[in-house]
Amino acid sequence: MLPGKIRAELLSLSSENAEAVARQMVMIDRLTASGTKEDLDLAGTFAQAASDRAGRVGVVRSYAGKVLLALSNYSEAKKHLSAAHRINGEPFLKVLLAECETGLGRPRKSLELLGEVDSKLLSSRELAYAHLVSAEAREALGQADAARVSLNPKSESYLMRDAVEGSDPERDRLRERWLGIKTRLASKITTSGESAN
C-alpha cells in the first residue's frame, strides 16, 4: 500500500520492524487525508512510534516532520525534517524547513532556506508549495508587494486547474492556503517603504 520508493527505504530494517513501520505509515496517510485535528493528533502518535522504530530512515523522519508541521508543532517538526534532510537530501524538505522557520517567527531565515532550493528539482506541486511558503514569509515581514509577486501565476494556474481533477486532500489544503493569503494580501495597503523591510 506504500509507494515502491518508500518500501525500498524500509528494506534497511528487519522484516518484522519494516512491516510494523509500514503499517504505521499507512495509518499516517489515512489519518492526515482527513485533515481533522483529532486525526492529525492520532497521526502524530503513529509518526512518533514509527520514528522510534526507524529513526535512521529518512522517509520515516520526513513523515513525522510533515505531521508535526500540520499540527503547527514547528520546533519538533524542524528536528525531524532536518534529520530527514541530512539522511536523504531531498530538496523539498528545505521548503518544509523554511515553513517551520516562519512558524517559529524567523521569516528571514525562511527566505534564506528557500533561496538555497533548486526549483528545477521540485515537482509542480512542490514548487507551488515553495511559492506559498515564500509569500507567507514575505507577509510575516510586512512585505505585501513581494508576497504578491511570490504567488507565481504558473503555480496558481496549476492549483486551480487541479481543482476539477478529483479529490486530493493535500492539494485541496494547499489551494485553500493559497486563496487565503491571496485574499489577505488583497486587503493590505502597500506602503512606499515596504520593499525596504
Cα atoms in the 13 Å half-sphere on the side-chain side of 63: 33
Residue pair 81/99 in contact (Cβ under 8 Å)? The answer is no
Among residues 85, 120, 145, which one ends one of the domains? 85
Amino acid sitting at position 84? A
Q: Do residues 76 and 116 share a domain?
A: no
The last residue of a domain, from among 57, 85, 113:
85
Residues 6+ apart with CB under 8 A from 143: 194, 195, 197
Q: Which pTM was predicted? A: 0.90
Please state the domain count of the chain. 2
Residue-number span of the structural domain to which 157 is assigned:
91-197
Question: Per-residue pLDDT tens for 106-134?
Answer: 999 999 999 999 999 999 999 999 999 99
Residue 29 and residue 70 in one domain: yes
Question: Residue-wise pLDDT tens for the chain (197 aa)?
Answer: 788 888 899 999 999 999 999 999 999 999 998 878 899 999 999 999 999 999 999 999 999 999 999 999 999 999 999 999 999 999 999 999 999 999 999 999 999 999 999 999 999 999 999 999 999 999 999 999 999 999 999 999 998 886 655 567 888 889 999 999 999 999 886 443 444 34
The domain boundary, picked from 49, 66, 85, lies at 85
Residues 71 and 118 occupy one common structural domain:
no
**Same domain, yes or no: 127 and 77:** no
